[in-house]
Amino acid sequence: MRITELFQRGEFVLTAEVGPPKGVELDHLIKDAHEYLKTRVHALNVTDNQSSVMRTGSLATCKVLKDEGLLPIFQITCRDRNRIALQSDVLSAALLGIENLLLLTGDYTTLGDHPQAKPVFDLDSVSLIHAVKRLEEGFDIAGNAVDGAPPKFAKGAVVSPCSDSVDVQLAKMEAKVKAGCEYFQTQGVYEPEKFIKFMEQAKQFGVPVQLGLIIPKNVGMCRYMNANVAGVHVPDDMIKELQADKEKTKAGDTGVEICARLIKECKDYAQGVHIMSLGWENRIPEILDMAGIAPITPVV
């Protein structure tokens, strides 16, 4: 099922991010997905060699999750594939019944574990969205007809509401919408007021937006993100909150509370929530419980 249908139905769409391992043992990932996510989120984003670190492929992992009765979102970046490979993988996804896409430009190669690799960036997020839209219309990006019935996807992209230059973000968001983007997941949000202000401006595009959350595990992680992660800013009082009760923070409870609170504060302005747990999948049910979001009936 395409998650755009859920948005259309007016559902508050819940998604969570999982990262394939470096290796082919997916047991752990599958077990966690069943145990913590299956009845709590509608779909699972599968990252594409996240942070430019080489791992098992997103598409194959999506297929495994789908076979397990879960709804995967295939994340595709432009870093490692030229337009031929990108379109080919999109068609492959359709072949495997994977209908949800999140289309990204991708981190630069030198940030990961193969800094010597050739960066591709033949297309970027906007032209990739366009390419997928063209495939849906029955043509590839070079204008050649695609045989048979064209595929249909839910085409998603990302945006950073708490970026230090929101105006530039909005300009690009508009380009993505015009190119055919149908839903957005945001970068991690820690400042509800910025998110709300952003959403007031983004409303004009008429495209659903999921509030992005990164569970703040500890002070060090927050400081690191403030220094290095684009579009993310953890305010000082939140860092103080994490510092206040060290034991509680260590147990992960402060982070869970913060996330739940952020959901509550932003819920009315967003069309869903996307949680990037970075290995803390087991805490997602608690967050949602605390935020007052009930379990869901799984869709496939």
Partner 1 sequence: MEDYTKFKLKRKEELDAVLADKNDLFVVACNKCFKELDSFDEPECGLFEEIAKEQGKNIVGSARIDFLCNEPLTSKSFEGLLPEGTKNVFVISCGLGIQTIAGLVEMPVYAASDTVIVDGHHGMALTTTLCDACGQCYLNLTGGICPVVDCSKSLLNGQCGGAKNGKCEVDKEMDCGWQLIYNRLEKQGRLQEMLNQPVELRDYSKVNHKFVSEYVKSVREERYEGYYGGIHPTEFKELSEHSSLVRFPEPLNVVIPMSQHAGAPAEPIVEVGQQVKMGQKIAQAVGPISSALHASVSGTIVAVEPRLHPISGLEALAIVIQSDGKNTLDDSVKPAGDLDKLSADEIIEIVREKGVVGMGGAGFPTAVKLKSPKPIELVLLNGCECEPILTADHRVLLEYADEVVYGLKAMMKASGAPKGVIAIEDNKLDAVELLQAKTADIENIEIVVAKTKYPQGAEKMLIKRVMGKSVPSGGLPMDVGAIVCNVSTAKAVSDAIQLGMPLIERVMTVSGNRMNKPGNYLVKIGTSVKEIVNHCGDVKGDDVTIKIGGPMMGFAQANLNVPMLKCSNGIIAVETTVKEAVECIKCGRCADVCPMELRPLYFTKYALSEDWEGMKTQNTMDCIECGSCEYICSSKIPIVERIKIGKTAIREGK
Partner 2 sequence: MLITQLKSKETIEALAQGKTVIINCHGCKEVYFAEHEADELQKDLNGVTQIITTDYICNPDNLKLQLKKHTDVINAADTILVFSCGVGVQTVAALFEGKKVYSCCDTYPLPGFQGVTPLNVDCGQCGECYLNGTGGICPITACSKSLLNGQCGGAKEGMCEVDKEMECGWERIYRKLEKLNKLDNMKYEAPKVRNYHNPNAEEPTI
Q: Are 216 and 278 in contact (CB under 8 A)?
A: no
Task: Decide if residue 111 touches partner 2 (CB under 8 A).
Answer: yes
Site string for partner 2, 62-101 (x = CB under 8 A): ---------------------x------------------
**Smallest separation, CB 114 to partner 1 (Å):** 9
239-270 b/e (C-beta count within 10 Å ≥ 16 → b): bebbeeeeeebeebebbbbbbbbbbebbbebb
Task: Decide if residue 194 touches partner 2 (CB under 8 A).
Answer: no
Extract the tokens encoding 111: 């940030």
Using the contact rule CB under 8 A, the part of the chain among 34-42, 152-160, 207-215, 274-282 near partner 2 is: 152-160
Q: Is 162 exposed, middle or buried (0-12, 13-18, 19+ CB in 10 A)?
A: buried
Give the whole-angstrom CA distance, residue 151 versus residue 149. Answer: 7
Using the contact rule CB under 8 A, the part of the chain among 63-71, 108-116, 265-273, 289-297 near partner 1 is: 108-116
Task: Decide if residue 115 touches partner 1 (CB under 8 A).
Answer: yes
Extract the tokens encoding 191: 């400042």
Extract the tokens encoding 59: 């598409």
Q: Are 13 and 42 in contact (CB under 8 A)?
A: yes
Q: Largest Cα–Cα distance in the chain?
A: 61
Task: Decide if residue 105 touches partner 2 (CB under 8 A).
Answer: yes
CB atoms < 10 A from the CB of 112, how many? 17
Nearest residue (CB) to partner 2, 232 versus 288 = 232
**Smallest separation, CB 109 to partner 1 (Å):** 7
* Distance spanning both ends of the chain, measured CA to CA: 6
**Smallest separation, CB 244 to partner 2 (Å):** 27
* Total interface residues for partner 1 by CB under 8 A: 7
Count of all residues that appear for the chain in the document: 300
Contacts (CB under 8 A) with partner 1, residues 116-145: 116-119
**Smallest separation, CB 15 to partner 1 (Å):** 34
Contacts (CB under 8 A) with partner 2, residues 169-188: 169, 171-172, 174-175, 178-179, 187
Contact residues toward partner 2 (CB under 8 A) are: 83, 105-108, 110-111, 119, 121-127, 129-131, 141, 158-160, 163-165, 167-169, 171-172, 174-175, 178-179, 187, 228-231
Contact residues toward partner 1 (CB under 8 A) are: 109-110, 115-119
